[in-house]
Amino acid sequence: MAFQFKPAVMVETLPLLTEGIELTIYITLLGLVFGFMIGTVAGLGRLSQNKFNRSISSIYIEIIRGTPMIVQALFLYFGVPLATGVRINPITAGIITIAVNSGAYIAEIVRGAVQSIDKGQFEAGRSIGLTRRQTMISIIWPQAFRRMIPPLGNQFIISLKDTSLLTVIGVAELTRSGQEIVAVNFRSFEVYLTVAIVYLCMTLSIAKALRWYEKKLMARSHR
């Protein structure tokens, strides 16, 4: 039996993916919001004067970057409840996985951006009497943040795609939805092609949105 491409299947598939798409977006958004917070804390922790903060941040970053996200998700969803007796639902586990995972990479982005700011900026802030904290918040962070946008965009795209790994803990996100449709109609070519196109649309949107945001920030300060 020769393979025959049926575009109509793609048109039929798309509406069936709606819930999966929504869940993917939901997990990505929440995961990245928390991931950004974790990453900021850990990134600044690595630059802290306090040795304890520096070690804790480094250990976290190394563990997360050194292990596959799929293992992190399995461990959190299946392993941790055994030890703690607290079951969490797959979606929550998925959000936590994305947050903790992206947080480690975002921490490195934050650290790199802050370190890239000229030391003279810090000294100028201190020389007019700003405290370390005030200098960080008013002088260093706004400049560092601007430099973080391109690598952050990259990380957002990676994390969005990484949500597909959450199929292993049974999260009914986009990839999983595709698998379930294929199980019924066996049209893997059309269904996965549709799924891929949807991912592509989402990642391209992120890239575009961040470019727009970067331009807006530039325009605000350098008219």
Partner 1 sequence: MSDSSNMIEIRNLHKSYGDIEVIKGVDLNVKQGEVVVILGPSGSGKSTVLRCINRLEEITSGTIVVDGFDLYAKETDINYVRSEAGMVFQQFNLFPHLSVLQNITIGLIKVRKMDKAEADKIALSLLDKVGLPDKATAYPDQLSGGQKQRVAIARSLAMNPKVILFDEPTSALDPELVGEVLDVMKNLADEGMTMVVVTHEMGFAREVADRVIFIADGVIQEEAAPDEFFSNPKHPRLKDFLGKL
Q: SS3 of 66, please?
A: coil
189 touches 3 (CB < 8 A): yes
To partner 1, the closest distance from the beta carbon of 113 in angstroms equals 13
Q: Among residues 55 and 131, whose Cβ is nearest to partner 1?
A: 131
For residue 130, the Cα-to-chain-centroid distance in whole angstroms is 34
DSSP H or E stretch at residue 198: helix 188-221
Q: Among residues 85 and 129, whose Cβ is nearest to partner 1?
A: 129
Distance from C-alpha of 71 to C-alpha of 63, rounded to nearest angstrom:
12
Q: Among residues 138 and 205, whose Cβ is nearest to partner 1?
A: 138
**Count, residues in the chain:** 223
Binding site for partner 1 (CB under 8 A): 118, 120-121, 123-131, 134, 138-139, 142-143, 146, 221-223
To partner 1, the closest distance from the beta carbon of 38 in angstroms equals 25
Q: Among residues 126 and 161, whose Cβ is nearest to partner 1?
A: 126
Distance from C-alpha of 122 to C-alpha of 32, rounded to nearest angstrom:
29
To partner 1, the closest distance from the beta carbon of 119 in angstroms equals 9
Q: Among residues 44 and 130, whose Cβ is nearest to partner 1?
A: 130
Determine what percent of the chain falls in helix, strand and coil, rounding each to the nearest 5.
Answer: 85, 0, 15
Q: Among residues 7 and 129, whose Cβ is nearest to partner 1?
A: 129
For residue 217, the Cα-to-chain-centroid distance in whole angstroms is 22
DSSP of 117-144, one letter per residue?
A: S-HHHHHHHHHTT--HHHIIIIIIHHHH
Using alpha carbons, select from 105, 223, 93 the residue that is nearest to residue 167. 93
To partner 1, the closest distance from the beta carbon of 219 in angstroms equals 11
To partner 1, the closest distance from the beta carbon of 96 in angstroms equals 34
To partner 1, the closest distance from the beta carbon of 48 in angstroms equals 18
Under DSSP, the state recorded for 71 is H
Tokens of 90: 């797959």
Tokens of 68: 């596959």
Q: Among residues 54 and 126, whose Cβ is nearest to partner 1?
A: 126
To partner 1, the closest distance from the beta carbon of 125 in angstroms equals 8
